[in-house]
Amino acid sequence: MRLTTKGRYAVTAMLDLALHEGKGPISLADISERQGISLSYLEQLFAKLRRNELVRSVRGPGGGYQLNREQAVINVAEVIDAVNESVDATGCQRHGDCQSGEICLTHHLWCDLSDQIHGFLRSISLADLVARKDVQNISERQDRVNLDQIMTGSDTLALSGKASV
């Protein structure tokens, strides 16, 4: 059993969006830079998140994405489900054909575990994660690193005479 990068990246991107919510629409390029997730992959994920009405897009200059609902009512399981991901502990994807086309001895155990994991993730909202001090500290570090990279890049351009006015 494992959660693939699709589910992990979707939760990470949604948490990044929630952490920066008060700053207006957030571009996928900004999320990509902070989280080290490919921009094209984020575009695919956000198309699914938008279809499931978890985010809304804002067009035009200064556009980007915003949460479509309050952080407190968006749970982690919902984000994972929106990108067609599942946390499934069975070896048969719950089809019951685990042992030569029949249900194996432990099939129901692994189904129950999957249900417990999904229930646990359903009990955690984006607001719960945003409120965590460890999450806030990591976000602040990422923002500092991102700002340092922007400043260093700007200084490099200015020193080389290639900065535009």
pTM: 0.84
One-letter amino acid of 51: R
**Tally of CA atoms within 13 A in the half-sphere of 61 that contains its CB:** 0
pLDDT digits (tens, 9 = 90+) for 21-44: 999 999 999 999 999 999 999 999
Average pLDDT in the 154-159 region? 47
For a pLDDT cut of 70, what percent of the chain falls above it?
A: 91
Average pLDDT in the 15-25 region? 96
Across all residues in the chain, what is the average pLDDT? 89
What is the pLDDT at residue 158? Answer: 45
Which residues pair with residue 102 across a beta bridge? 99
